[in-house]
A and B are shown apart, each in its own frame.
Chain A
C-alpha cells in the first residue's frame, strides 16, 4: 500500500554541506546562516540527501551506532525538529510502499 502522507524527510536544496572534522558544516544559502552537525548528525544528514522515512533513518542509525532504538527514535525526532525549524529540511511523500 502506498502511503499518502508526507512522512519522508529530505535535505533542502538550498543547503550546501561540507565535511570538517568528524562532522559537517551546513550553509543555508537562503537564510545566509551556517550550522554544524556532529558525527551522528552528519551521518543522518547524509542519509536524507534523498527522501527517507523517519523509521528508516532510525533503522540505519541503530545499525551503524551502538544505541538503543528507543533513545535513537527520540534523538532523531529532536534533531529533525530542529532542522525543520532552521529550514534545513522539508517533508515529502515517501515513494515506496509502507
Chain B
C-alpha cells in the first residue's frame, strides 16, 4: 500500500529586509 509523506506546516513566505551589509 502506498503511503504519502506528511506535508510540512505552512507559513506565509516572508522576505525581511535588514539593511546594508556594512
**Which residues of the other chain, A, contact B22 by a CB distance below 8 angstroms?**
32
B3 within 8 Å of A by Cβ? no
Query: How many residues on the A side are at the interface (Cβ–Cβ under 8 A)?
Result: 27
Q: Is the CB of B18 within 8 A of A76?
A: no
Query: How many residues on the B side are at the interface (Cβ–Cβ under 8 A)?
Result: 16
Could you name 23 residue pairs across A and B whose Cβ atoms are closer than 8 Å? Answer: A29-B21, A32-B21, A32-B22, A33-B21, A35-B16, A36-B15, A36-B16, A37-B15, A37-B16, A39-B11, A40-B11, A41-B13, A41-B14, A41-B15, A43-B13, A63-B7, A65-B9, A66-B9, A66-B10, A72-B10, A79-B15, A83-B15, A86-B15
